[in-house]
Amino acid sequence: MRLAFLSLAVWIIVIPAVSRAGPPEAESDSPAVAVERVLDRVGAQDSDGRPLTLEAAVDEAMARNLRIVALRREFDALRHRPEQARYLSAPTFEAQVWQWPVDTLNPANTNMYMLMFGQELPGRGKRELRSSLLEMDVELAAAAIAIAARDIIDRVERVYADLFLARQEIEIHHASARLLRQLADLSDVKYSTGRVSQQDVLKAVVELSKIEEHLIELDERAQLAAAELNTLLDRPVADAVGPLAMPAERVALPPVSELQRLALTQQPDLTAADLEVTRAEAALGVVRSEYRPDFSVMGGYMVMPGQRDSWMAKVGITWPTAPWTKSRVDAKAAEATASVAAARARSEAVASATREAVYTAHVRADAASRRASLLRTTIVPQSEQTLEVSRVAYQTDQVDFLVLIDNQRILLDTQVDYFRALNDLERARAALKRAVGTDISAEPGARPIATGRVRR
């Protein structure tokens, strides 16, 4: 009874699949062909759009990225501030009428009119110190542009590599689907002659369905990466991104010690950290100048009806070291001194983190390059050979279909691993360029992202 029940269940499940699969000559009804037709619709690589190299993408981002454009506009505005601090404040003009309007409502009946002109005069050197402080703000704004440019370049390179990887994985999965179709046809032939069970046919269909699932995920990754790349390039988010350039497997990198020395002069973060120290020192100079007095001068003419008119003058001076005010200036000076020490500590911390980032990215780039070379020259060819041998052995009934499927999976994984290694290499190179702050090519004439200042 149990055997009859199992036979009925197998008949219900398997026979419809067999009827859909059909013999090899009825290719339009084959499940492998039906699934591959779906694969052609899912995750197909977008061939529209002009070819886009990484260098062209970076140049376009530098010219059109909205974040960089906004920072440049802010920099243009800040450049006008230092000039403002070099000039005196606006003068004052005063007019006084005595006994009006208390004693009389008619100004002509008063005893005296006084017209005064006054000007505030900051202490010696104060305007220059304030202007220097504002110039540091301008330099920091320029450093912020360099940092933003470095970040945008890093994102463009990473997204470009991710989009290339997603497209390559799509192509590999399509090729794997075509290979599985051949294996499914082979299993159909053997099944029609009674040499294998229906399991072999269904196993190929299941593997094709898994590939379809993977292609849906890869298509999502490719679309999201293309959208992010378009955003970085200030293009419409749904624009097609054309064919991408194949990344290099081997990249000549300078020694780590040379890159670390280069980073100390070209890294935008280090440049900004040094500027923060300089700005803190300039702010300390401004605070210390408050110990020096400011001046005010005023002159005017006094008109006294019925009496002799006269000229008058007045001079004023501040007393910043008065006992009841000196403590305020002392506290501000102590705060500014502590800010200088904090800025120097941050600068050293950034330098240490930069050295570590350069070393880490260099190690990862070298490892990814060696891994990609090993996969291309050894592992992938071995996987292809193993699959071919197992396919021949399957035709002669020396191995079962599961071995053939396992070898097909291994080949798929190794092919994907190769392009993932290239992706890791590109991302590591992007991280290395970000850490150094300039092009890391060993070729002479590398163009830095932003010219830094020699670190003290």
pLDDT score recorded for residue 102:
66
Q: Which bin fits 22, alpha (ψ -120 to 50), beta or left (φ > 0)?
A: left
pLDDT score recorded for residue 432:
92
**In degrees, to the nearest 5, what angle opens at C-alpha 22 toward C-alphas 18 and 23?**
125
Q: Is residue 206 part of a domain?
A: yes
pTM as predicted: 0.75
Contacts of 261 (CB under 8 A, 6+ apart): none
Asked if 32 and 185 count as a contact pair (C-beta separation under 8 A), the reply is yes
Residue 414, domain extent: 50-436
Report which of 147, 401, 396, 370 is spatially closest to residue 275, judged by C-alpha positions.
147
Q: Is residue 448 part of a domain?
A: no
Tally of structural domains, the chain: 1
- Tokens standing for residue 376: 């291309």
Residue at token pair 């104060």: 126
DSSP result, 434-452: HHHTB---SSSSPPBSS--
Asked if 391 and 189 count as a contact pair (C-beta separation under 8 A), the reply is no
- Tokens standing for residue 64: 């059109």
- Tokens standing for residue 201: 């046919």
Contacts of 447 (CB under 8 A, 6+ apart): 438, 439
| Neighbour-count burial of 66, counting CB atoms closer than 10 A to its CB (0-12 exposed, 13-18 middle, 19+ buried) | exposed
Give the total residue count for the chain: 456
Which residues of the chain fall below pLDDT 70? 1-49, 102-108, 196, 441-456
User: H/E element holding 114?
Assistant: strand 113-121
Q: Is residue 18 part of a domain?
A: no
User: H/E element holding 285?
Assistant: helix 268-288
- The Cα–Cα gap between 413 and 421 comes to 12
pLDDT score recorded for residue 112:
78
Amino acid at 272: A
Residues pairing with 120 in the sheet: 296
- Tokens standing for residue 122: 């900051």
- The Cα–Cα gap between 188 and 10 comes to 18
Q: Is residue 400 part of a domain?
A: yes
pLDDT tens digits along 135-151: 999 999 999 999 999 99
Asked if 146 and 449 count as a contact pair (C-beta separation under 8 A), the reply is yes
Sheet holding 295-303, edge to edge: 92-97, 113-121, 295-303, 310-317
Question: What phi, psi does 117 have (nearest 5°)?
Answer: -130, 125
Whole-number Cα distances in Å, 318 to 11, 325, 427: 105, 11, 61
Dihedral over alpha carbons 21, 24, 27, 29 (to 10 degrees) = -20
- The Cα–Cα gap between 54 and 247 comes to 9
Whole-number Cα distances in Å, 385 to 172, 181, 316, 380, 408: 17, 19, 96, 9, 11
Q: At 289, which CATH number? A: 1.20.1600.10
Q: Is residue 193 part of a domain?
A: yes
